[in-house]
Structures are given as structure tokens and as C-alpha cells.
Amino acid sequence: MTKKVQNFVIVCGGTGGHIYPGLAVASGIRKKFKEASIHFIGTYNRMESKIIPETGYPFYGISVEGIQRRMDWVGIKKNVKSLLLLVSGIPLWQSLRILSKIKPQAVFATGGYFSGPVIFASYILKIPCISLEPNVVPGLANRLAAPFLKKIIITHQESSIYFRRKDKCVKIGTPVRPEIFATNRNEALKNFHLDPDRITILIMGGSLGAKNINDSIQELLRMIKNNENHLKEKIQIIHSIGKRHYQDYIEYLVDTGEINYQPLEYIEHMDQLLPAVDLFIGRSGATSIAEATSLGIPMILIPWRGVNQAANAEVLAKNGAAELIYDDELTSGKLYQFITDFVIHPQKREQMVQNSQQQGNPNAAEEIADLLIQISNK
């Protein structure tokens, strides 16, 4: 490996779904090149400005705001502010100044509105840049930035049709936190006091929770409790309810009887649980899917219609790695039927595990690191 490869910039922020893939790639670079200097760029006032410095990496903030999808007065006002800031050239000037100071050999962006100014600045400075697209339907930022990118990392082959230059698309997958591979199944079972002879089901709707999913679980628990085939003796459920709904949910929680059921407000260290999970039930965000498929976990995905998550879930269902229930069609009965089939048909479980593994890539971070090193040497 040449000495030229020593300096990299990673652009990430806004949400954990953009931050943690960036940190995963940083770890991948360090595995390949221990002496690499890695710098992060994000926004001043979002969660990355706290999370990244805590990991020990240098962090630089730029002034950029996202476009709101809500079209009420508050959303319109924020969008006008965001556009005025962008047109002012301040985010681009800040990005040019930071990149000129760091002088990286390559830039990796995790997609999202915050990456645009840095991608364009890297293009002006002739620094090769690649960007991650974790969703089936690419976001606006990556579509607009595509002409200025050296390569676009896609997770699903279906994403390539949205880009004019399909030759720029490289199917690698979404990198996940290396911590999820540091815990083995037995350790994860012990962490949450789980029975190794039962099928472990994880139910979650994000950090804040999903009321529709939570509501359906109450009736699902009644069905499991009254099942004549002893279903409750074959499964155990970890339910991350979400901070927004936890108190109300617990107040009206049904009598779960002998069901091994753990209702939790929030699971802070998901990496310590995931290796024990046999079935995931929840939304179909890119990060959740990437972590589940990297471990070969089958899924029941419950997306809203007409959003990126729906397309993600549809692809996973088409490839046999997940069952799909749209949020507006969710019933306790459907969940009960899917869970029952999953439990009583071991061949189906094994096939879904294999299908899930085929949709994931546990080595994505290292492969993206390899690509970054490769383009930095050209």
C-alpha cells in the first residue's frame, strides 16, 4: 500500500442512519490502513456534532439545513431558510475551506442533504468522492450529486435505474456498526436473560416508537396466550416500545400470563441483542434492514405506503427475506399467522435466514474502504 493513502474525509449526519455507516467505514479504513487520518464533516447542530467527537475523530461543522416534507407554515418557513442558506454559498465556502485545510485523498459521503455542499466542493478541488445510497429509491441529494461523484455505493441493484450513469453504481451494501459482530449468540442471550431453546422475536418501531405497531401487539399477546399449540412455550419476545408511547402502553398492558415477554422503553445497546434475534418485526429503514441482513435475520416489515421504506420492504419480500404488511393493513391476526407459520415450519425459517444473508453484506465497510483507497491512488 502506498504512502499516498493517508487522509480521508467522511461526510455524515442528521440521523443515526447516516452517522453509523460513516463510523463503520472509518473502522474499515483503520483495518486496512492503521495510520490513516480520518476527519468527519457534518452539521453544527445535529446529533453528529456530539456523537463523532465522542469517538475521537476530528469533526468539522458546516451550516446546512434539510428540506422539510411537511407543507404547513412551519415547514415552508424552514424550507425558505434552507434554500436561502444554500443559495448564499456559505455551506459551499465552508466545505471548500475545510477540504483545503485537510487535503484528503478521497471523500466518502453517506447521502443526505448535508453532503451536497461537501460533494460539490470536493469536485471543484478535484478530490474523488463516493456516496452511499442505502435505500432502493435514491434520495434527492444523491440524484443531484451523481454527476460530481466518482462512484455511488448502492445496497440494492434496483437502485441503479434511477441514475443516468449506471456505470458509476457499485453494489456493495450498507455498512453496519462493527459492534454487532463483537457479541456472539450465547452472550446476547445472557445479556437479556433469554432462553436458548426458544425462538427470539424482536419487535420495534424506532427510538420514539410506532403506535400502530404497539397497538397491534396487545391483541397479539392475547392470541399467543390462548394458543392451543403451546406457542407461548416456543417463543420469547423483546419489545422496544419507544420513549413516546412507553408509559401509555405499560398502563394498558394486557395480562401476558406465561408468555416470555419483555416490554422495554428503548434498547440502547442493540448490538448486544441482535445476535440472539431469530425474527425482527418493525419498520423497514435502511439501517435496520442492513443490520438484520448482515446477521441473516428474517423479518416482518411494516412500512408506510409511498415512502422509501416501502420500496425497501418490497425488495426484501420479493427476495424471500421478509414478510410484508403495509401499515394501513396491519392487524394482530396477520402478525399471529406469520409468527405461527415461522415457528412451526423450520424449513421456512432456514430458507428465510439464507435469503436474508444473501441480501446483506457484513463486509460492506471493508469493501467501501477498499474502494476509497483504490480511487485515492488514481
Give the strand order in the sheet containing 322-324.
260-264, 235-240, 199-204, 279-282, 299-301, 322-324
Predicted local confidence at residue 103, as pLDDT: 95
Predicted local confidence at residue 1, as pLDDT: 43
Evaluate if residue 108 carries a pLDDT over 50: yes
Mean pLDDT for the chain?
88
Q: Looking at residues 169-187, what average pLDDT do you find?
A: 94
Evaluate if residue 82 carries a pLDDT over 70: no
With residue 232 as reference, give the H or E element that holds it.
Answer: none
Q: Looking at residues 182-203, what average pLDDT do you find?
A: 96
Q: Looking at residues 331-336, what average pLDDT do you find?
A: 96
Confidence of residue 207 (pLDDT cuts 50, 70, 90): low
Predicted local confidence at residue 256, as pLDDT: 79
Predicted local confidence at residue 2, as pLDDT: 47
Predicted local confidence at residue 65, as pLDDT: 64
Which residues on adjacent β-strands are paired with residue 200?
236
DSSP states of 233-300:
GTEEEEEE--TTTHHHHHHT----TT-EEEEES--S-GGGTGGG-SEEEE---HHHHHHHHHTT--EE
Cell 420513549: give the residue: 243
In this prediction the pTM is 0.88
Span of 49-63, 79-93, 240-254 with lowest mean pLDDT: 79-93
Which residues on adjacent β-strands are paired with residue 157?
none
Which residues participate in the annotated binding site? 15-17, 135, 177, 207, 267, 309
Confidence of residue 162 (pLDDT cuts 50, 70, 90): very high
Predicted local confidence at residue 85, as pLDDT: 53
Confidence of residue 112 (pLDDT cuts 50, 70, 90): confident
Confidence of residue 262 (pLDDT cuts 50, 70, 90): very high
Which of these, 308, 287, 11, 3, lies nearest to 130 by C-alpha position?
A: 11
Evaluate if residue 372 carries a pLDDT over 50: yes
Span of 10-19, 94-103, 147-156 with lowest mean pLDDT: 10-19
pLDDT in tens, 277-329: 999 999 999 999 999 999 999 999 999 887 788 999 999 999 999 999 999 99
Confidence of residue 88 (pLDDT cuts 50, 70, 90): low
Question: In this structure, are residues 205 and 283 in contact, taking their beta carbons and an 8 Å threshold?
Answer: yes
Which residues participate in the annotated binding site for UDP-N-acetyl-alpha-D-glucosamine? 15-17, 135, 177, 207, 267, 309
CB atoms within 10 A of CB 194: 19
Percent of the chain with pLDDT over 90: 63
Evaluate if residue 367 carries a pLDDT over 60: yes
Which domains does the chain show, CATH number per domain?
7-176+362-376 (3.40.50.2000), 180-359 (3.40.50.2000)
Burial class (CB in 10 A: 0-12, 13-18, 19+), 355: middle
Evaluate if residue 206 carries a pLDDT over 80: no
CB atoms within 10 A of CB 192: 17
Span of 218-227, 274-283, 322-331 with lowest mean pLDDT: 218-227
How far apart CA 248 and CA 242 sit, in angstroms, is 11
